[in-house]
């Protein structure tokens, strides 16, 4: 079973939920945790795991043979990323950091002066602790193609999954609803949408649940710090009810979460009372997966 943990807004506690869910699952099932927040991956830190390099991630980039180039400027005109700077009567200049490897420049060049090479855009690491195999994708500083890293991370995770024959894969996605998040959600069986009782978190939650509906993936809401603002908590409840999306967990606001981050231990280890909360989330996921998917248009 593949479960994505997401939520739209950053800082709602996705990684805390993902790591604690993984720890609970790993008590009885072979579990893999995939950290797909490739710009700021920190699940391995939250689980005090040492990581080692598994593979590099590369992306194609163009290279020029200026002996063939007629300085026509077509490659610069076609590049939507503005990765090629062209000044009349000069050879094109290349800003490799913003190139996304689409190859349009190579296709359009009338002199066949452009061929493709590659650049490293990130790294995939593996680590292990709490009986969990932790697979981490990390974008190289200054690079933009986080979606590419997540796609490659998903591929490598499947490779490792096959070898380890794991039963549960938890994918901890980045915040937002962009390309890296979509690459984290696609192909999963269930989406755990983590939110908190604030207007911005509810706004972003609606957008991420809209994505879940679009991809026809069942989803449930976990409200972190639910007791922080009761009136707004009720607004989330009303929204969930009117859109037929179950609230699968409610996590109270306690200092244990801060201690969990400082001590680099999952919150279920800091305070075993939380085991009950995460066990209940797992039970609710299993229960919800047995019901039929309803393709309601979510009200965003
Ligand atoms: S399209 Fe080809 S020939 Fe024209 S400037 Fe670019 S590299 Fe040179
Ligand atoms: S491969 Fe695409 S993004 Fe990169 S320089 Fe060529 S046209 Fe621009």
Q: What is the pLDDT of residues 238-286, one digit of tens each?
A: 999 999 999 999 998 888 888 888 888 888 888 888 899 999 999 999 9
Distance CA 38, CA 165 (A): 24
Name the one residue in this structure whose structure tokens are 């290279």.
Answer: 63
For ligand 1, whether the C-beta of 77 sits within 6 Å is: no
Looking at the fold, whether 195 and 84 belong to one and the same domain comes out as no
CB atoms within 10 A of CB 226: 21
Looking at the structure, do residues 180 and 280 belong to the same domain, yes or no?
yes
Q: Let me know: does 156 contact 92? Beta carbons within 8 Å.
A: no
Q: What is the pLDDT of residues 176-204, one digit of tens each?
A: 888 888 989 999 999 999 999 998 888 99
Is 297 a domain residue? no
**Three-state DSSP class for residue 212:** helix
State what percent of residues in the chain have pLDDT above 90.
68
pLDDT at 98: 87
**Shortest-distance atom of ligand 2 to CA 100:** 3
| CA 104 / ligand 2 centre spacing (Å) | 6
How far, in Å, is the centroid of ligand 1 from the Cα of 147? Answer: 29
Whether 296 maps to a domain, the answer reads: no
Residue 12's domain spans which residues? 2-47+130-289
Q: Measure the CA angle with vertex 187, ends 208 and 55; round to 5°.
A: 105
Q: Does 76 lie in the same domain as 163?
A: no
Q: What average pLDDT does this structure show over 36-48?
A: 93
Q: Tell me which of 120, 140, 163 is where a domain ends.
A: 120
| Three-state DSSP state, 46 | helix
Ligand 1, closest atom to CA 108? 1
3-state class of 152 per DSSP?
Answer: helix
The pairing of strands 31-36 and 168-173 is parallel
- Considering the domain boundaries, does residue 158 fall inside one? yes
Give the ligand at the shortest distance from the Cα of 101: 2
Q: Which of 10, 9, 21, 29 is nearest to 46 (CA)?
A: 21
* 204 lies in the same domain as 254: yes
pTM of the model: 0.87
For the domain that residue 86 is a member of, what is the CATH number?
A: 3.30.70.20
Compute CA distances 279 → 32, 46, 68, whole Å. Answer: 17, 19, 65
Report yes or no on 52 lying in a domain: no
Q: Is 106 within the bounds of a domain?
A: yes
Instruction: State in Å: Cα 61 to ligand 2 middle.
Output: 7
Mean pLDDT of the chain: 91
């Amino acid at each position: 079973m593949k479960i994505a943990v997401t939520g739209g807004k950053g800082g709602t506690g996705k990684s805390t939920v993902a790591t604690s869910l993984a720890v609970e699952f790993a008590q009885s099932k072979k579990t893999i945790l995939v950290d797909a927040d490739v710009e700021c991956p920190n699940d391995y830190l939250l689980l005090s795991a040492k990581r080692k390099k598994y593979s590099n991630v590369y992306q194609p980039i163009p290279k020029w043979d200026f002996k063939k180039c007629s300085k026509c400027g077509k490659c610069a005109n076609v590049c939507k990323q503005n990765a090629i700077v062209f000044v009349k009567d000069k050879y094109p200049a290349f800003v490799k950091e913003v190139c996304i490897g689409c190859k349009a420049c190579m296709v359009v060049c009338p002199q066949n002066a452009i061929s493709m090479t590659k650049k490293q855009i990130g790294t995939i690491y593996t680590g292990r602790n709490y009986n969990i195999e932790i697979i981490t994708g990390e974008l190289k500083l200054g690079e933009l193609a986080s979606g590419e890293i997540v796609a490659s991370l998903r591929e490598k995770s499947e490779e490792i999954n096959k070898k380890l024959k794991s039963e549960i894969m938890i994918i901890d996605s980045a915040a937002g609803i962009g390309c890296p998040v979509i690459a984290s959600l696609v192909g999963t069986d269930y989406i755990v949408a983590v939110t908190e009782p604030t207007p911005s978190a509810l706004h972003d939650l609606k957008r991420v649940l809209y994505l879940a509906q679009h991809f026809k993936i069942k989803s449930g809401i976990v409200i972190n710090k639910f007791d922080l603002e009761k009136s707004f908590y009720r607004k989330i409840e009303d929204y969930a009810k009117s859109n037929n999306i179950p609230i699968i967990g409610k996590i109270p606001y306690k200092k244990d979460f801060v201690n969990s981050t400082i001590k680099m231990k999952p919150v279920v280890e800091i305070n075993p009372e939380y085991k009950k909360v995460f066990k209940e989330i797992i039970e609710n996921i299993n229960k919800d997966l047995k019901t039929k998917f309803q393709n309601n248009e979510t009200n965003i």
